[in-house]
Structure 1
């Protein structure tokens, strides 16, 4: 049973949607996974795992009350189920490298319409969205 989620955007510690995840956190640590992320014009990022050449930096979160946590996360990410055409994000499972080098299978929310990402979004250099938004003036998605 998968008991981790990898977050790379607004669900990370200190960012706008972390409060959605916070009640379900058992443990949290820095982590990385293969893939790319794009900054979208809506003020949040999207993950894509289609080429395996990039690396994404985020947080590996061990969940408690996993079923309820997934209900909350699915709602936030507009995930309605496997293969649903109305999904904004798909919930997939990918290997994630924890800070201590462990490889852990985790849920990741990946952008459903992968083909639109290169046109719709801006590729985040280095795969670290937190670092990317630090360089944007007055971002509306930050807390405080």
Structure 2
């Protein structure tokens, strides 16, 4: 049983949830300190020190070893010191310190725009709403 904090496309109802759905043993809401960045079809997080920065909403999942391996593959994490896309880092929940586990994070924003707010899902739904509005729609 391996704890992992997810905040983007691995959340239920999002585009990559199917990758780990059958490997999830439990799920609980949580928040971590950091900042979300919009990478187009997915987000990235840059972590902040405990007690610093914005809060990012997500879920603490407990997954099987195979589930973690599938997430490593999706996030292009090959191991410590390797040329990874995301790093896998141990973090604690911002409000419930007894909750801790892995998170996939970037060391910096890589030039992606910051997301206003603490939820990828809210941000993504807002982007979808904006793209569906016609130019003639003043609302």
Same fold (TM over 0.5): yes
Distance in 1, Cα, partners of 2:5 & 2:129: 26
Quote the offset at 1:71 in angstroms. Answer: 1.1
Distance in 2, Cα, partners of 1:72 & 1:118: 24
Quote the offset at 1:137 in angstroms. Answer: 2.4
Larger radius of gyration: 2
For normalisation by structure 1, the TM-score amounts to 0.80
1:34 touches 1:54 (CA, 8 Å); kept in 2? yes
Q: Tell me if 1:88 matches 2:85.
A: yes
Distance in 2, Cα, partners of 1:105 & 1:137: 32
Distance in 1, Cα, partners of 2:84 & 2:46: 14
SS of equivalent residue, structure 2 residue 122 = helix
The residue aligned with 1:62 is: 62
1:45 touches 1:129 (CA, 8 Å); kept in 2? yes
Number of residues of Structure 1 aligned to a counterpart in Structure 2: 128
Quote the offset at 1:15 in angstroms. Answer: 0.4
Point out where structure 2 has 5 or more consecutive residues left out of the alignment.
131-139
Which of structure 1's runs of 4+ aligned residues deviate more than 6 A?
A: none
Cα-Cα RMSD:
2.0
Q: Alpha carbons of 1:118 and 1:75: their partners in 2 closer, same or farther (altered >3 Å)?
A: closer
1:67-82 pair list within 5 angstroms: 67-82=65-80
Point out where structure 1 has 5 or more consecutive residues left out of the alignment.
140-144
